[in-house]
Amino acid sequence: MIADSSGSGQIVAIELTGKDDDDAARTGALLDQITDPIAPFTADGAYDQDRVYETVAERAPDSAVVVPPRSSAALSASAGIAPTRRDQHIQEIAERGRMGWQKSSGYNVRAKVEAAIGRFKRVIGDSLRSRTDETESTEVAIAARALNRMLEFGRPNYVRIS
């Protein structure tokens, strides 16, 4: 599931995966559903794969990929000459630490996306009632539309009082 990280909280793309499927393998299918510019593509560490960087570069060449490299990540062979975006992330984490990287890269907006996923699970539930792939896809699409519609009615406005 991809939620709009601009602050709208809207769910903009959904792709179901099976228990044995790799979420990152569905990156292209998710991006194909998005018509607005992607800036940036932010995901959790499960998406730290070359094919994700390649897929985003193909579909949205101007979009940055903000994915935390694994703690065991190593620089590519070309890091000294032409560092990739992933190499830059690894180098920055080495210099500033993971928290410093999160702040400077904008990775912290991922919390808004996680909130949308959490909202989905709280309101809809974390299991599907349908039994076939087609009806499961329909069920999730209807649920996402319902949640997006709820957001159109309004949202809380938090004000710090102390």
User: Cβ–Cβ contacts within 10 Å for residue 34, how many?
Assistant: 15
Per residue in 7-50, pLDDT (tens digit) is 677 888 888 887 788 888 999 999 998 888 887 888 888 899 98
The verdict on residue 159 lying in a domain is no
The verdict on residue 56 lying in a domain is yes
Four-residue CA torsion sign, 121, 123, 127, 132? negative
Per residue in 82-109, pLDDT (tens digit) is 998 899 999 999 999 999 999 999 888 8
The verdict on residue 158 lying in a domain is no
- pLDDT at residue 39, as a whole number: 76
- pLDDT at residue 123, as a whole number: 87
- pLDDT at residue 55, as a whole number: 93
Structure confidence at residue 62 as a pLDDT band (50, 70, 90): confident
- pLDDT at residue 127, as a whole number: 85
Q: What is the mean pLDDT of the chain?
A: 86
For residue 113, how far is the Cα from the chain centroid? Answer: 7
- pLDDT at residue 54, as a whole number: 92
Quote the domain boundaries for residue 57.
2-153
The verdict on residue 22 lying in a domain is yes
Q: What pTM was estimated for this model as a whole?
A: 0.78
The verdict on residue 102 lying in a domain is yes
Domain count, the chain: 1
- pLDDT at residue 44, as a whole number: 87
The length of the chain is 162
- pLDDT at residue 135, as a whole number: 92
Burial 115-142 (b: 16+ CB within 10 A, else e): ebeebbeeebeeeeeeeeeeeeeeebee
